[in-house]
Chains A and B, each alone.
Chain A
Amino acid sequence: MTYKNPPTTPRQSATFDDYTLSEIRRAAATGIYDIRGAGAKRKVPHFDDLLFLGASISRYPLEGYREACGTNVVLGARHAKKPIELKIPITIAGMSFGSLSGPAKEALGRGATLAGTSTTTGDGGMTEEERGHSGILVYQYLPSRYGMNPRDLRRADAIEVVVGQGAKPGGGGMLLGQKISDRVAAMRTLPPGIDQRSACRHPDWTGPDDLEIKIQELREITDWEKPIYVKVGGARPYYDTALAVKSGADVVVLDGMQGGTAATQEVFIENVGLPTLACIRPAVQALQDLGMHRKVQLVISGGVRNGADVAKALALGADAVSIGTAALVAIGDNDPRWEEEYQALGTNAGAYDDWHEGRDPAGISTQDPELMKRVDPVAAGRRLANYLKVMTLEAQTIARACGKSHVHNLEPEDLCALSIEASAMAGVPLAGTDWIPGKSGL
């Protein structure tokens, strides 16, 4: 009987895994970095790493379905004559017409309005689909100023000065030429078919002192009626929040690295910026140090998926959250019913992120007239409204279990963390202990 040495099982390198190898081959073949949409896909500490403690003896819960738990939020009462009043603490994040189709923008407007909240424009300006179907519309004032129009500023309910995005703090965008239809090109004052670069910084101001004067100009133009939001990508949340407040912002929007984008370098999306969870407490600390917590509202975005995420963000000190990717899924993005077509594009439902190519089978991140027809704005809007209401119900359920009669009454004391990393980032104790890394116990 001969003995054969048992073969060694092939071992994949943890460093050079399949994805990394494929990316090296792709870069070598094409000579360009990978550009894609959406936010960071790598695993980083997130809301899942926190748990609510709920009520037992030391806390007294409220009765679900019986006792009221408020969800309304007012944004922008610091300076504006007409603050924004929302029924729920969840808003729709800025996403551009051009990146998204007209029917998709209409669906977002319809869904947000049904749920009693706001939606937001994006690079490319304001469309009639969006204004016409959004009860409350926030107009983004972006570095590129594509489609910027003072008449649209006045038609908006609030103005969001975009300084950065969580997917790419410090970076601009690149909308590749194949997606630039005649309508998109006309709105952006560029020839159709060329790559459209979005600037990484505003062309006519530098630094917080200038931003303060810019905000003054925007207030003067809109007769001090509209709240002014300032949106920053999560990178230095304490200082960026403090300087936004110093500049006169009514609302600070802070977008973590899981926040989506239309099209940016994969290496940028995955390697620049802070996880959303790590952004919240420093921003809240900045507001508290300035005596502005709850006076200047904080809106958190970047990977918010359900009512638990909403409740956790609010418990850590946010006034509201904003959703982008999740809203797109709600209106039909990456839907399995288009699985065969996703596979034909070399991907699958759930992983499709080549939004810049304009071939989205769901008809959402495209300007193809035939694909766009797949979005029924009424039905898709209804789905978004359902989703927003479910998230709100979920947040209320958790808040009641913690004994809170309003979701804003949630607090860090209601939370614990499952990992040392999440404990340190969120500033809440490690589960089963009173230990917060970097701080003493109780």
Chain B
Amino acid sequence: MPTFDLASVPLRDLNQALHAVEAGKNETTFEVVNPRGAHAVAVGIDAPVRVDVHGSVGYYCAGMNAEATVTVHGSVGPGVAENMMSGTVVVKGDASQYAGATGHGGLLVIEGNASSRCGISMKGIDIVVKGNIGHMSAFMAQAGNLVVLGDAGDALGDSLYEAKLFVRGAVKSLGADCVKKKMRPKHLALLADLLAKAGITDVKPEEFTRYGSARTLYNFNIDNVDAY
């Protein structure tokens, strides 16, 4: 198993090695030590590899990930798994702003808390946060699911499109056009599946509240202008 010590090896070497992986021809398990807050760690992977990062990282860790499983045994800076396409990213610690921003697919699990704008403009990604999330999370979120076991900050789901939000704790305030919705059997099943994928077994789907778009802002109407 190749190990990249970022205290002595350039980041470029790590990402180049990850990009060079071809299915069935290379090592598929990588270890990164001493990341020391580096930005852009393990970005742009496009292969079914496993990467374990031991320590905390800066911006955009696992950005645009496809197929890979990246686990950060520490905390992450802004934009973790931004624009992820597929695969899995797990953060054992906390996440800063924009976690999973614009993600198109895959699963992002944050075992700690996530700061503001978690899931902003999400486009199909599934995000599970065991702790709390900050303000303006899921702003303009288009598709995918955001699951929060803790509390959510101000303006949750502002200008939301078709993404589904599930929050177990309190929501400080809802953003424009975001409303509480009835939890139907299909939503309970969806939530149960997401919790299972995130390795969460001690929480029941019935404990969550679902939020989604009221769809009143989908086509402009002057009578709704106060919502903007």
A155 interfacial contact with B, CB 8 Å:
no
Query: Judging by beta carbons under 8 Å apart, are A144 and B121 in contact?
Result: yes
The segment out of B39-47, B147-155, B179-187, B189-197 that lies at the interface is B39-47
Query: Judging by beta carbons under 8 Å apart, are A195 and B102 in contact?
Result: no
CA of A204 to CA of B82, assembled, Å = 8
Which B residues, 65 to 86, have Cβ-Cβ distances below 8 Å to chain A? Answer: 66, 78-79, 82-83, 85
Residues of A within 8 A of B50 (CB): none
B140 interfacial contact with A, CB 8 Å:
yes
B8 interfacial contact with A, CB 8 Å:
no
The segment out of B23-31, B164-172, B202-210, B218-226 that lies at the interface is B218-226
The segment out of A13-21, A209-217, A309-317 that lies at the interface is A209-217
Residues of B within 8 A of A222 (CB): 44
B58 interfacial contact with A, CB 8 Å:
yes
B43 to A: closest C-beta gap in Å: 5
Query: Judging by beta carbons under 8 Å apart, are A197 and B140 in contact?
Result: yes
A42 to B: closest C-beta gap in Å: 25
Query: Judging by beta carbons under 8 Å apart, are A204 and B78 in contact?
Result: yes
Residues of A within 8 A of B117 (CB): 203-204
Query: Judging by beta carbons under 8 Å apart, are B39 and A217 in contact?
Result: yes
CA of A153 to CA of B83, assembled, Å = 12
Give which listed residue, A190, A194, A210, A217, contacts B63 with CB less than 8 A.
A217
A418 interfacial contact with B, CB 8 Å:
no
Give which listed residue, A174, A194, A203, contacts B218 with CB less than 8 A.
A194
Q: A189-B143, A203-B139, A204-B120 are in contact. Are A150 and B219 (CB under 8 A)?
A: no
CA of A151 to CA of B161, assembled, Å = 25
B15 interfacial contact with A, CB 8 Å:
yes
Q: How many residues of B contact A (CB 8 A)?
A: 44
Query: Judging by beta carbons under 8 Å apart, are A213 and B39 in contact?
Result: yes
B142 to A: closest C-beta gap in Å: 5
Query: Judging by beta carbons under 8 Å apart, are B220 and A195 in contact?
Result: yes
Residues of A within 8 A of B220 (CB): 32, 174, 176, 195
Query: Judging by beta carbons under 8 Å apart, are B124 and A204 in contact?
Result: no
CA of A31 to CA of B221, assembled, Å = 8
Query: Judging by beta carbons under 8 Å apart, are A189 and B85 in contact?
Result: no
A145 interfacial contact with B, CB 8 Å:
yes
B89 interfacial contact with A, CB 8 Å:
no
Query: Judging by beta carbons under 8 Å apart, are B98 and A195 in contact?
Result: no
CA of A153 to CA of B19, assembled, Å = 14
Residues of B within 8 A of A153 (CB): 64
Query: Judging by beta carbons under 8 Å apart, are B60 and A214 in contact?
Result: yes
A148 interfacial contact with B, CB 8 Å:
yes
CA of A176 to CA of B219, assembled, Å = 8
Residues of B within 8 A of A223 (CB): 15-16, 19
A379 interfacial contact with B, CB 8 Å:
no
Q: A150-B66, A221-B64 are in contact. Are A203 and B12 (CB under 8 A)?
A: no
A268 interfacial contact with B, CB 8 Å:
no
Task: Return the chain A residue nearest B142 by Cβ.
Answer: A189
Which A residues, 357 to 413, have Cβ-Cβ distances below 8 Å to chain B? Answer: none
Flag A149-177 by CB within 8 Å of B: 1 or 0 each.
11101000000000000000000001011
Q: How many residues of A contact B (CB 8 A)?
A: 34
Task: Return the chain B residue nearest A148 by Cβ.
Answer: B83
B11 interfacial contact with A, CB 8 Å:
yes
B162 interfacial contact with A, CB 8 Å:
yes
CA of A223 to CA of B44, assembled, Å = 9
CA of A230 to CA of B131, assembled, Å = 37
Query: Judging by beta carbons under 8 Å apart, are B43 and A213 in contact?
Result: no
Q: A150-B46, A213-B58 are in contact. Are A203 and B121 (CB under 8 A)?
A: yes
Residues of A within 8 A of B221 (CB): 31
B66 to A: closest C-beta gap in Å: 7
Residues of A within 8 A of B162 (CB): 190-191
B135 interfacial contact with A, CB 8 Å:
no
Residues of B within 8 A of A148 (CB): 83, 102, 104
Query: Judging by beta carbons under 8 Å apart, are B44 and A220 in contact?
Result: yes
A349 interfacial contact with B, CB 8 Å:
no
Residues of A within 8 A of B78 (CB): 204-205, 210
Which A residues, 220 to 255, have Cβ-Cβ distances below 8 Å to chain B? Answer: 220-224
Flag A124-151 by CB within 8 Å of B: 1 or 0 each.
0000000000000000000011001111
Query: Judging by beta carbons under 8 Å apart, are A190 and B142 in contact?
Result: yes
Residues of A within 8 A of B219 (CB): 177, 194-195
Residues of B within 8 A of A197 (CB): 140, 159
Query: Judging by beta carbons under 8 Å apart, are A204 and B79 in contact?
Result: yes
Task: Return the chain A residue nearest B14 by Cβ.
Answer: A220
CA of A288 to CA of B65, assembled, Å = 39
B81 to A: closest C-beta gap in Å: 10
Residues of A within 8 A of B142 (CB): 188-190
Q: A145-B123, A194-B218 are in contact. Are A220 and B11 (CB under 8 A)?
A: yes
Query: Judging by beta carbons under 8 Å apart, are A203 and B120 in contact?
Result: yes
B101 interfacial contact with A, CB 8 Å:
yes
Given A31-B223, A148-B102, A197-B140, output 13 extra A-B contacts at Cβ < 8 Å: A145-B102, A148-B104, A151-B66, A190-B162, A195-B220, A204-B97, A204-B120, A217-B43, A217-B63, A220-B12, A221-B63, A222-B44, A224-B12
What would be 29 A-B contacts, judged by CB atoms less than 8 Å apart? A31-B221, A31-B223, A145-B102, A145-B121, A149-B85, A150-B46, A150-B64, A151-B46, A174-B220, A189-B143, A190-B161, A194-B219, A195-B218, A195-B219, A195-B220, A199-B140, A203-B98, A203-B121, A203-B139, A204-B97, A204-B120, A210-B59, A210-B78, A213-B39, A214-B60, A217-B39, A217-B63, A221-B15, A223-B15
Nearest 10 pairs of A and B residues by beta carbon? A221-B44, A31-B222, A204-B98, A150-B64, A145-B102, A204-B101, A194-B218, A203-B120, A217-B40, A204-B79
